[in-house]
Structure 1
């Protein structure tokens, strides 16, 4: 038996409205709950995130060591190039320019408030046919 019910990933930021819009576009999500200092969203597959106002929020400096990671998110995608174009259009910024080799190719980014996340290519279980 689980000790807790499923939770939600919460990112602190100076402008939760702006960050919620970024992740709504990234995840194809809808807003579910909002107060003056917190906005929650839910994607079609049930993934939940929230953004809490902290006027003193300091963006992480990753990959630099000072003020390094505060949180890190991984998202699975089918097409890294297409996903990257979408991230940049939404206001995200690449933080790594090279692909990691291997089964899980990945690229690092930061959201508009500076939180880091990675897009990882969805591993294919069988070769493409035709």
Structure 2
């Protein structure tokens, strides 16, 4: 029998119910548990997140150094433009307006409570046809 039976990334926020809805929609997931101070979800791909009530939670200020990056999530998507439209429609906001150079295309966002996350799309590995 394993020592640990489940693992979660837990984000502190003032309104866990609202933040859970944002990520549930983003990850095409379902709510798996809820108490007065914590909501847990599982995304369609198995990603497990929890949101804990903290009335004194302050959003990270990344990229500014004060109260900087407290937690960071990465999500892989096929279409960055479509994902960005969905995130903004759900109440998230872009943090950066330019694409990162290199083999990955990335965009930074924050959720409605101010936690930062990155969408990234890996470059195709198959040779270009035609």
Unaligned runs of 5+ in 1: none
2:25 alignment partner in structure 1: 25
2:83 alignment partner in structure 1: 83
Tell me the SS of whatever aligns to 1:105: strand
Which stretch shows the higher mean deviation, 54-63 or 5-14?
Answer: 5-14
Counterpart mapping for 1:91-130 below 5 A: 91-127=91-127
TM-score by length of 2: 0.93
Counterpart mapping for 1:9-88 below 5 A: 9-88=9-88
Alpha-carbon distance in 1 for matches of 2:93, 2:127? 32
TM-score by length of 1: 0.93
The root-mean-square deviation of aligned C-alpha atoms, in Å, is 1.6
Alpha-carbon distance in 2 for matches of 1:51, 1:5? 19
Alpha-carbon distance in 1 for matches of 2:127, 2:43? 29
State the aligned residue count: 129
